[in-house]
Amino acid sequence: MTTHEKREDVPKQEKWDLTDLYTSEDDWQKDVDDVLAIANELNDYDGNINDGASLFAFLKKQEEMVYKLQHVFAYTMFSSDIDTRDSRAQQLKAKASQTGVKVSEATAFFMPFLLTLDEATLEQYIQEEEKLGYFENTLWKSFRYKPYVLSKEKEELLSQLGESLSAPADTYNMLNNADIPFGNVTDEDGNEVQLTRGMYSKRIEDEDRDVRIEAYRAYYKPYVELNNTIATNLAAEVKTNTTLAKIRGHESALSQSLFGDNIPVDVYENLLAAAKNNIQPLHDYTAIRKEKLGVDELRQYDLNVPLVPEMKVDISYDEAYDTMLAALAPLGGEYIEVLREFRDKRYIDVRETPGKKSGAYNMGVYGIHPFVLLNHNDDLSSQFTLVHEMGHAMHSYFSNKHQPQITANYRIFVAEVASTVNEVLLIQHLLKETEDPKMRKYLLNHFIEQFKGTFFTQVMFADFEKQTHERAEAEEPLDANSLNELYESLFRTYHGPTLVFDDEVKYGWSRIPHFYRAFYVYQYATGFVSAIDIAMRILDGDEETLNNYLQFLRSGSEDFPLGLLKKTGVDLTTSAPVDNAMKMFSDTVDAFKKA
């Protein structure tokens, strides 16, 4: 593994070139000044948009400002993430944040104004000003919200209540990240120490079952003790969601949440139903896990320990990149050529160094290029991370290249498709190339665990969200007992009869922060099955699917997510994508059992 004690030791080719954004801080400051000047101009349009020309002038200036503001934010974010200890970078980041607040204040009037127009007036403005054709689709998308907008007085009242309405999420965030004291565990020297989240993630995967049990008990201890408090808090969050949906005239909190992406409620419900109809392979895998671990009773603290130890393979960054290029070759010459250039043009910050932000991400900057942050460790896990993030980066690259600024950003609903397509192609390539039975077994297990975490766990969470909101809408109680019973029931449904339940299982809902961003996690599952469906057809040599997929990458948000996916052959209004993915999961479980 290549390690670097100082950023200066990292080869130039493995570091971002931020001069692609700004060659100096003075250039950055000039854009900050421009953004603030434009924001002041935009503020003057409040009450003064009364025809097509003035509407276009506002929107055009706003787009110019957003372009510069994104660059301002990106530069400070990247500078800070390179070294989070850099005080100057933190100062610039704070200044960018303050600039963003002023922009929001200056443009806050526009959406309420737009939604006070009647349809005929908006149509008249568009007819008056030919240049508004560029913004027309976006204007009508925004106009969809009109039936659910309240009077000006009521909207202002809700706006004033914003901080109070977000209190449950804020409270949970503070409780979960700052105030929760985990129980004690024994360290390597035999001393009692308080468990941390970082320690837990490692200990729950330890081969020593006693280590796992001790960590499990200590981790769940505060959630058990605070069960009533957290239940009351989550109930407040759920009731806030259902009340706001009712006030605005939506049929349910679920339908309100899906409205922005134009997703029918049937898609959500069909996802849950299709998962349950295909649950047997997961139950089979749970039984295999019990057999492989050789335990009399399989319990929750046995679900994370690897069944196949990670293969200790030294894979240099260049080797990982070359393997990626080979694995993704089915995506065609243009895709591979662009991907090769990413390494050469320094779009990727590769190495872990002191102070650098952990993890990995991609951020596409319109008008420049994608920037990818890694903490590459020359191992198999890093190779999968590289392939995943480059999927996001290529999606950003093609969308930004082929779309105008207004439709270049893709929606969260489709965000994980490109990254997962890449991962599926990589794992199929590695399975095909390897002659090592241990490596093959490891790869099969890696994919099974990925499928379980990205699909089944997220669907289970989505099921929990749906049922809690339906209970609130039916005015049924949401207290600690009812939440515990519901979560335990769902855990049994998804994990099957092999698992023996400890008391802690039923408290699992209380440690999930995603429940304070309702009806979000299902998108992981829909994106995952969509990607598997696409990738397997590409591997089968389906040229039409390949061409449609590449067009999907170029499409940004020019259509709603379901429409974009349908053009690739994925129809999420049916159970077919889930059924196809589940067939692959079942085959992989069978192959693992025989390996």
Catalytic positions are 389
Closest of 294, 296, 292 to residue 308, by C-alpha: 292
The kind and range of the H/E element at 587 are helix 576-594
Distance separating alpha carbons of residues 487 and 182, to the nearest angstrom: 22
Cα–Cα distance, 476 to 181 (Å, whole number): 32
Q: 361-364 and 192-194: which strand pairing? A: unpaired
Q: How far apart are CA 172 and CA 156, in angstroms?
A: 26
Tell me if 363 sits within 8 A of 410, measured CB to CB: no
Residue 217's CB is within 10 A of a number of other CB atoms, namely 17
Angle between helices 209-225 and 227-248 (to 10 degrees): 60
Q: Retrieve residue 166's tokens.
A: 């977000």
CA quadruple 508, 384, 200, 309: dihedral, nearest 10: 110
Query: Of the candidates 98, 104, 101, which has an alpha carbon nearest to the alpha carbon of residue 76?
Result: 98
Q: How many CA atoms lie within 13 A of 195 on its CB side?
A: 25
d(CA 128, CA 55): 10
Q: How far apart are CA 304 and CA 212, in angstroms?
A: 9
Q: How far apart are CA 53 and CA 579, in angstroms?
A: 51
In angstroms and rounded to an integer, the radius of gyration of the C-alpha atoms of the chain is 25
What's the CA gap between 375 and 84, in Å, rounded? 14
